[in-house]
Structure 1
Amino acid sequence: MEEEGDYGYDEEDAGVIIMPGEEPEIPEIKYEYLDHTADVQLHSWGKDLKESFEQVGTAMFGYMTTDYDSVQMKRVHEIQADGDDLESLLFHFLDEFLFLFSAEPCIIPRVIEITEFDLDNFHITAKGYGEPFEIGKHPQGTEVKAITYSAMQILDQKPEHDIFVVIDI
């Protein structure tokens, strides 16, 4: 029998607890939302491609709540993504984080940190620092249904490293 406040998941599913003072710094915002027919296009940039990937993941979650600053970094979750090329790696990276949000306990990360960025083997290991999404605490933005390959661009031309990806809303 579930007690009040029990969401039906094991404590292990809720990620590793972050102790006060162990939270990563919240990075500068390096993304924007561009209009797209019936969807939204995320545009991110960074000092390198790794930062651009982190920023586009953060942009996706920023679109899912109208007050992203309300998300606290209480737990850390790790994801892994693999691809056959750079575009499929980006797709699977975002899709893994979208799954983290879609499955119990519905984690919304405030900071995404890539810890392994292997472009030779198209592999990413990343951490999401956040907490379970709660309607009363995190005002709901727009639901993201899926990641798409539509108009996906990864521009890795120094000094600019831009990503454009359309999400289905």
Structure 2
Amino acid sequence: MEIENFNKEKIVIPEIKYEYLDHTADVQLHSWGSTLKEAFEQCATAMFGYMTELPTVSVEQCFKIEASSEDLDGLMFQFLDELLFLFSAEPYLVCKKIEITKFDLENFKIECLCYGEPFTLGKHPQGTEVKAITYSAMKIVNDEEKGQFECFVIIDI
């Protein structure tokens, strides 16, 4: 669902808290944050960053997505899968900012605002196509010593 009325000037792009780790035939997204919500948002941003260079993306549109599951790993899978669908179908939205507005860990539900613009060859460098999200080696960690949460997700490229 597209959100028509939003203030583009008030959108603040957070610092990057993710990296890409080598994997046999795919790539592993590694994200972190001071909250689990932030780690999820960073993981989603990392996926879009693998598909194109995010500094070339403008915030022109906002879409709302929802995801739900039976458990935390399933929630991460469904969340990223919904975002991948947003990119793979019209309007082919590439997101520069992901903002989870509802993060219900009792019922495993997410509502999220996705800010970006349609992917356009020539404006957005073509990165690597993400074919699917996988459960393979998925890990969601609460590192109490570091005071941060970490997410590890392998995407099929």
TM-score (ref. length: structure 2): 0.95
Distance 2:56 2:83 in 1: 19
1:28-66 CA distance string (max 9 Å, x none): 10000000011000000000100000000000000001x
1:133-169 CA distance string (max 9 Å, x none): 1011101000000000000000023312000000000
**Unaligned 5+ residue runs, structure 2?**
none
Distance 1:139 1:27 in 2: 21
Tell me the residue number matched to 1:47. 34
Query: What is the aligned residue count?
Result: 155
Query: Aligned letter for 1:120?
Result: E
Tell me the residue number matched to 2:75. 89
User: Does residue 166 of the first structure (1) align with residue 154 of the second (2)?
Assistant: yes
Please tell me the root mean square deviation across aligned C-alpha atoms, in Å.
Answer: 1.3
Query: Aligned letter for 1:155?
Result: V
Query: Secondary structure of the equivalent of 2:9?
Result: coil
The answer on whether the counterparts of 1:19 and 1:74 sit within 8 Å (CA) in structure 2 is no
Seen in structure 2, the aligned counterparts of structure 1 residues 135 and 110 have a Cα distance that, compared at 3 Å, is: same
Q: 1:99-138 maps to which residues of 2 (within 5 A)? A: 99-138=85-124
TM-fit CA distance, 1:68: 1.2
Query: Secondary structure of the equivalent of 2:115?
Result: strand
Greater C-alpha Rg: 1
Percent identity between matched residues is 59
TM-score (ref. length: structure 1): 0.88
